[in-house]
Structure 1
C-alpha cells in the first residue's frame, strides 16, 4: 500500500476531518478519474447493500465540514492556500468522492495514480523525492539502495541485512555499526535487529549497531525520523541528537532535528519518552512535544500537533501558519532544489495549507501560488520566490 492510500484509509477511520485534510482530499481527488471512482463506488454499494445517506444527513455532514474548512481568525497575517476551494461546493465534492477514492484506490491491482502522473512529467519539471538512500556497512562498504535489487545484502561483519520493498530488515547477529543516509529528495525505512522500525525523512541519517548486544539500545540521528520502538523493558532505547537525548521504553514518536532549523522538536504519539538536554529533563505524555532552541539550549514542553508532525511519513506536506522560509526549506529538501528570494520579499510571511509529496515541483509551486501573493520561477534546480 502506498502512502496516499494509507493516508486515505486513516482519514476514513476518523470521525472528523481537519481543514487541511479536507483540502488535501479535494486536491488529491482532483487528480484522479472521478467518473470511474463514482461508478466503482455505486457498484460496491449495490453489491454489499450499502445505503446512501439520507439528504438531511448529507447536509449535516456538509455543514460540519464547511465549518472546519473556514479558517479561524488569526492575529498574524496568514496566506490561506486552496482559496478557490472554500465553500459548500468544495465540501460536497470531498464528501461525495472520499469513500469512492478509498474503495477504488485500495482495490487489488489498481495502478497508482502517482506513477501515471509522473510518467508524463515535462522535461523542464522536477520530480518529487522518493525511496533513495545509501547504506554504509560496518566494513565501510557503501550500497546505493535505490539501485540494489531486493534480497540479502552482502556484508562483511556478520550483518544479516535484507532489502525488501524500499525497506531494510535486519536479522540477529553482526558486530558492526551501520549508517543509513538519505539525500535531498530521498526517504527510506529500516527495521532494526530488535524489531524497531524507523522512517527516515530527506537529508537525514541514522547510525545504529547491526545488533543490539549491550544492556541498552542506542542510535544517533541527524535530520528527521519517525520511530516505532519495540518494547524491551530490560534494554531502554536511546536516540541521540546533537545536544539532546530521547529515552524510550516502547513507543511511537517523531523527531525533527535539522541543523538549519531553529528548533529541535520531539512529538510523542504513544507510550512515554524522556527528553534530556543538558541538565533539563522532561517526560512526555501522548500528544505532547518538546522543543529545544538551538541557540539558547532552552527545552520547553507543549501540547503537540501529532497529525502535522507525522504528515511527511504519510506522504503529505502540511503547513499551519508556518513561515514561508521554513516551508521553502521543506520544499528544498524534498525536491533537491536551491531556493532564493527576490529583493524586498518578506520570507516571514505565514502560510497554511496541505499538498501531496508526490506532486512534481511545478505542481507543488502552483499550489503555493494559489495564495495569489507569490510567484515562483524555476531555472534548472533553482527556485526564485517573488511577489506577484
Structure 2
C-alpha cells in the first residue's frame, strides 16, 4: 500500500482508484488491508455519521451537478484532508462492502451470473503435484484425502496439501499455472504459499542434515524452527539461507530482479560471491542483468499482499503490472503502437475481481484503454 498519508498532496491517479473502490468495490479484503496501514500511521477512523458527512462533501467537490460517479478528476493536487477523508471512509465504512469475507477466488467464480460468463474470471486454487515416481496429480480434480506415491505421505485438505514425516525423501514438485495459487505444508511443518506461474521442488520428507527446496516464481514461507537442520531456498543462482521464520521470495525469470523480503526472523541471501543478511522490514534486490545485490527498506504489506488477496502496484512499470495481470488471469498481453511500457502505475485491486473490473481500475489509474478478445488483452491509449 502507498505511504500516501505522509504526503502533502495526492495525485489525480491516486484519488481516482480510491474513489473507484469507495463507490464500486464489494468485499472486505481491501478494507482490512487499508485499516491496518492507517492504524500503523496513527489515523483515527471516524464514526459512521461523520463518514457519511465526509463522503457527501467529497462527492460535492468531485462530481459536477447532475452527473453520476465516477468522473474524471480535475488536473490539480488534492489536499491531504480531503484524501484522508476518502481513505477514512473506505477504512471505516464496512457498510460499503457487501461481499462476505474469507471466500477464495474459485468459490466466487462459481457464483458468476450468466451475464458474467463472457468475462475472464480471476485465478484460484489450481496446481499439479508431480510425485517422486513421476505420477502427476491435478489437485483441482483430486478428492480430499491421502494421495499415494511410493511412500510419500501427503494429504489433500480443504486449504492445500499437508505432508507427514516419512522415510521417503524423493523429490516432489508443486506447480501452479497462470491463474493458479496453492498452499502446502511440508513434512517439517514449514508452510509455503505458492503464487501463480510458480514451481516449488522439495523432498517428501527432510531426512538429511539440512532442509533444501528450490523455487521458480514467487512464494511466501513460514519456516518451522529446527536449529539442527538449516533451511535453504535455491533460486536460479541465488540461495536464501533461513535464520528465522517468515519471508517472501519473488523470483520470476522474466522480471528484472529477484527480491527477498523479510517479515520476521532473519535470512541471509547469497548470490555468487555477494551476500547480505536481512533484518525484519528489509529486502534484498538481486538485479538479473548486472548481478548486483543490494539491501533496502521494504514495505512488507505490499510484498505479501498477493497472499492476502490483493494485487498492489507502487509506481511499478506498466509492463511489470501487466505481467502480474497476465499471470493471475491467464491472459496474453498485446501493446498497441505508441504505448510506453515503462510508464509507472500506482494502485490496488482485489484478486477476486473479474478481469473487466481489474482493467477498469487500471484505466482509472493509468489513463489507458484495455480491450479484451477471448483471452487476449490489448493495451492502447
What TM-score comes out, normalization by structure 2 length?
A: 0.78
In the TM superposition, what is the alpha-carbon distance from 1:94 to its structure 2 partner?
A: 1.6
Name the structure 2 match of 1:170: 163
Cα 1:54/1:166, change in 2 over 3 Å = closer
Deviation at 1:32, TM superposition (A): 3.6
- For residues 365 and 17 of structure 2, the distance between their equivalents in structure 1, rounded to whole angstroms, comes to 14
Instruction: Name the SS for the 2:305 alignment partner.
Output: helix
Residues 1:386 and 1:244: Cα distance change in structure 2 (over 3 Å): same
What displacement does 1:25 show? 10
Alpha-carbon spacing, 1:139–1:291, altered in 2? closer, same or farther (3 Å): same
Aligned residue in 1 for 2:152:
159
Match of 1:238 in 2: 232
Tell me, yes or no, if the aligned pair for 1:270 and 1:286 is still in contact at 8 Å: yes
Which residue of 306, 316, 319 maps to 2:310? 316
Cα drift, residue 371 of structure 1: 3.0
Structure 1 residue 380: Cα displacement: 1.1
Q: Distance in 2 between matches of 1:135 and 1:285?
A: 33
| Cα distance change of structure 1 residues 244 and 113 upon mapping to structure 2, 3 Å threshold | closer
Deviation at 1:24, TM superposition (A): 6.8
> Given the superposition, is the C-alpha separation of residues 159 and 381 from structure 1 closer, same or farther in structure 2, using an over 3 Å criterion?
same
Q: Give the aligned length.
A: 332
* Bigger mean CA deviation after superposition, 273-282 or 122-131: 122-131
Shift of 1:295: 1.4
Partner residue in 2 for 1:353: 347
CA contact (8 A) 2:173 2:199 kept: yes
* Structure 1 SS opposite 2:225: coil
Give me the whole-angstrom Cα distance separating, in 1, the residues matched to 2:278 and 2:210. Answer: 20
Render the CA deviation track for 1:320-356: whole Å, top value 9, x for unaligned: 1111000000001111111011111111111101001
Structure 1 spans left out of the alignment, 5+ residues: 1-6, 8-15, 35-51, 67-80
Q: How does 1:72-111 map to 2 (within 5 A)?
A: 87=82, 90-91=86-87, 93-98=89-94, 105=100
1:119–1:17 distance in 2 versus 1, CA, 3 Å: farther
The 5 A counterparts of 1:1-388 are 27=21, 30-32=24-26, 53=47, 87=82, 90-91=86-87, 93-98=89-94, 105=100, 114-115=108-109, 118-120=112-114, 122-156=116-150, 158-173=151-166, 174-371=168-365, 373-387=367-381
List gaps (5 residues or longer) in structure 2: 29-45, 59-69
Contact 1:128 1:359 in 2 (8 A): yes
Q: TM-score, normalised by structure 1?
A: 0.77
**How far is the alpha carbon of 1:21 from its aligned partner?**
12
Structure 1, 121-130 or 263-272: larger mean CA deviation:
121-130
